[in-house]
Amino acid sequence: MIGRLNHVAIAVPDLMAASAHYRDGLGATVGPVQVLAEHGVRVAFIDVANTRIELLEALDQTSPIASFMARNPGGGMHHMCFEVPDLDAAMRRLVDAGARVLGDGTPKIGAHGRPVVFLHPKDFDGTLIELEQV
Ligand SMILES: CC[C@@H](C(=O)O)C(=O)SCCNC(=O)CCNC(=O)[C@H](O)C(C)(C)COP(=O)(O)OP(=O)(O)OC[C@H]1O[C@@H](n2cnc3c(N)ncnc32)[C@H](O)[C@@H]1OP(=O)(O)O
Ligand SMILES: [Co+2]
């Protein structure tokens, strides 16, 4: 069911400073900042050879990552996103297996303009997993 690792997301307190760490420290090319109000974050993507890094900054205290940032003020690994060919089939299979799809259970459009859902970290060994239909 899961395909490529589409991205690894890192929640950061300061998107510009984190972007500079990757650009100046690691020689990475940082993409443009995208504000995604529906997701409560602004993001920048870094393409690497076999996946992407997604730098995430909370837009405000109502962001779904606000509590994470309160627990991890310096930032930290936030989620992994896997590609799936059929998000509806993936959700049915996961719900049938007892996993929780977060939010109202319906996909939102993610940063790449494709539908995404999130699975509860407690159902996947303490790791927040995002699925993106590709
Ligand atoms: C840019 C768009 C899109 C893309 O296209 O790539 C994105 O990536 S948007 C990214 C931001 N959006 C989301 O993360 C949506 C899904 N997340 C959520 O709904 C919430 O973050 C959450 C997972 C429900 C957690 O919310 P929180 O307010 O932190 O709830 P709790 O404080 O009750 O935490 C519950 C429990 O889960 C642990 N937790 C929280 N976040 C993570 C995490 N990232 N990784 C692992 N574990 C996490 C938290 O520590 C609590 O555990 P206990 O303390 O042991 O109960
Ligand atoms: Co993501």
CATH number of the structural domain spanning residue 76: 3.10.180.10
Task: Answer whether residue 1 shows pLDDT above 90.
Answer: no
Give me ligand 1 centre to Cα 88, in Å. 21
Work out how many domains the chain is built from and give that number.
Answer: 1
Q: How would you list the strands of the sheet with 108-109, edge to edge?
A: 34-36, 41-47, 52-58, 5-11, 76-84, 128-133, 115-119, 108-109
Query: What digits encode the pLDDT tens for the residues 9-20?
Result: 999 999 999 999
Boundaries of domain holding 102: 5-133
Minimum-distance ligand 1 atom for the alpha carbon of 111? 5
ipTM surpassing 0.90: yes
- The average pLDDT across 72-101 equals 97
Q: Which residues are catalytic?
A: 130
Task: Give the number of the ligand closest to the Cα of residue 68.
Answer: 1
Task: Give the number of the ligand closest to the Cα of residue 116.
Answer: 1
Which residues have CB under 8 Å from 51's CB, separation 6+?
4, 5, 6, 7, 8
Question: Which amino acid is located at 122 in the chain?
Answer: K
